[in-house]
């Protein structure tokens, strides 16, 4: 299957390619002459304005886990289930949804590049019986909510699931070839794309562009599933084929950054007003030492993201990464780049400080706003809208913020 590529995407496919020559081109640290990262694109400003006249992002992550109960049934049941989600979010005063549309190399939308998700009912021809993303964008917008399509760029299906994927899809072809573009990782049931291959980055970037071309999304969002391992064997072929790097860590950092730049360029080539956001781990050291995510670069240079949503999933009393200190660490990198603080509602009921401190999510959200953050995002929908008394108190505290 051919991968459709726009000219804008092709111009930035420069780094770490295991091409037939065996010697990858290398991207130097450079300025990318693309859209300024601030202020936020018009779509998000409009959604925020609809919610109360300001530009604060008040978001929730709706993961594949949150969607699982409603996406496996009929189109009507999915419409009603997602409508109820939007009604709850609107009633809570939220204005932005980060919604999973591709979690494991599987599409919750009509795609030429990725196979349809097993979560969504399909006909005998393998095609989706309804289009979840079309329904979600339409429904979210009817409630004045901004919808950002959330993808996991590198994570794929399990090996067993991949064996059931049609051979027309390039991820299956790469898996069958054993070319190193799709790899297994010890201790992980999922397969992973290797971003050191130019063809892999092309697919990932075009996958983002395909969503923007086909759907009225307000943003493309992706989170912290970057490198799945520190094992040098994962990308050894590409690393050994190039001559510019002798440091594997820097090689990987630059390859991931090139992937991010490719996604950004591909999205902006479709529509400059679509927001591109990245949600790395809150732990700065983990980003660099384990995931190879050069978050400081993404925050200080243009061309990678319009906003960063760090997962600051820590309590105030956390002995390693206390919330206030970690928030300040992120804010001081670049006070001009929009940052939205990721908050951990899922820890209420499982971690003492979060369980015992009533209104902790509202406290952390207010601290984020007071520090100059663009807003906050809560993980995840199921946790926030739990019907228990404790979460009722938490939602009330958030609502009282205005």
In a domain, 394, yes or no: no
In a domain, 304, yes or no: yes
Q: What is the 3-state secondary structure (H, E, C) of 23-69?
A: CCCCCCCCCCCCCCCCCCCHHHHHHHHHHHCCCCEEEEEECHHHHHH
342-364 tens-digit pLDDT: 999 999 999 999 999 999 999 99
Q: What is the pLDDT of residue 126?
A: 81
In a domain, 177, yes or no: yes
Residue-number span of the structural domain to which 283 is assigned: 7-309
The one-character DSSP state at 196 is T
Q: What is the pLDDT of residue 11?
A: 37
236-293 tens-digit pLDDT: 999 999 999 999 999 999 999 999 999 999 999 999 999 999 999 999 999 999 999 9
pLDDT-flagged residues of the chain (< 70): 1-54
In a domain, 199, yes or no: yes
In a domain, 346, yes or no: no
CATH of the domain at 106: 3.20.20
The tally of domains found in the chain comes to: 1
Helix (H) or strand (E) holding 111: none
In a domain, 280, yes or no: yes
**What is the chain's Cα-based Rg?**
20
Whole-angstrom distance, CA of residue 171 vs CA of residue 184:
13
In a domain, 118, yes or no: yes
In a domain, 124, yes or no: yes
198-to-79, 105, 267, 317, 324 alpha-carbon distances in Å: 38, 18, 18, 44, 39
């Amino acid at each position: 299957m051919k991968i459709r590529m726009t000219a804008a995407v092709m111009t930035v496919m420069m780094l770490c390619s295991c091409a037939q020559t065996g010697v990858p081109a290398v991207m130097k640290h450079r300025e990318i002459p693309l859209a300024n990262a601030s202020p936020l694109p018009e779509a998000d400003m409009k959604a925020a304005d609809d919610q109360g006249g300001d530009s604060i992002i008040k978001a929730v992550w709706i993961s594949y886990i949150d969607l699982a109960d409603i996406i496996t049934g009929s189109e009507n049941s999915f419409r009603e289930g997602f409508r109820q989600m939007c009604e709850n979010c609107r009633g809570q005063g939220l204005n932005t949804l980060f919604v999973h549309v591709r979690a494991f190399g599987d599409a919750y939308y009509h795609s030429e590049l990725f196979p349809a998700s097993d979560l969504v009912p399909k006909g005998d021809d393998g095609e989706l019986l309804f289009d979840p993303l079309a329904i979600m964008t339409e429904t979210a917008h009817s409630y004045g909510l901004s919808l950002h399509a959330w993808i996991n760029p590198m994570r794929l299906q399990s090996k067993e699931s991949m064996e059931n994927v049609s051979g027309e899809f390039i991820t299956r072809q790469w898996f069958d070839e054993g070319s190193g573009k799709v790899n297994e990782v010890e201790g992980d049931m999922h397969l992973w794309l290797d971003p050191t291959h130019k063809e892999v980055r092309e697919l990932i970037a075009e996958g983002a562009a395909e969503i923007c071309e086909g759907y009225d999304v307000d943003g493309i969002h992706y989170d912290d599933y970057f490198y799945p391992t520190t094992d040098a064997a994962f990308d050894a072929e590409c690393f050994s084929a190039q001559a510019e790097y002798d440091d594997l860590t820097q090689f990987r950092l630059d390859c991931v950054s090139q992937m991010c730049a490719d996604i950004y360029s591909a999205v902006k080539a479709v529509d400059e007003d679509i927001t591109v956001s990245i949600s790395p781990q809150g732990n700065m050291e983990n980003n660099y030492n384990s995931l190879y995510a050069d978050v400081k670069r993404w925050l200080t240079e243009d061309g990678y993201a319009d906003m960063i949503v760090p997962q600051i999933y820590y309590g105030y009393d956390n002995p390693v990464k206390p919330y206030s200190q970690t928030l300040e660490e992120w804010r001081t990198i670049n006070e001009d780049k929009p940052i939205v603080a990721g908050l951990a509602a899922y820890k209420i009921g499982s971690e003492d400080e979060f369980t015992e401190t009533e209104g902790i999510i509202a406290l952390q959200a207010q601290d984020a706003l007071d520090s100059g953050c663009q807003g906050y995002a809560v993980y995840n929908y199921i946790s926030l809208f739990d019907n228990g008394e404790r979460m009722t108190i938490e939602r009330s505290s958030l609502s009282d913020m205005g």
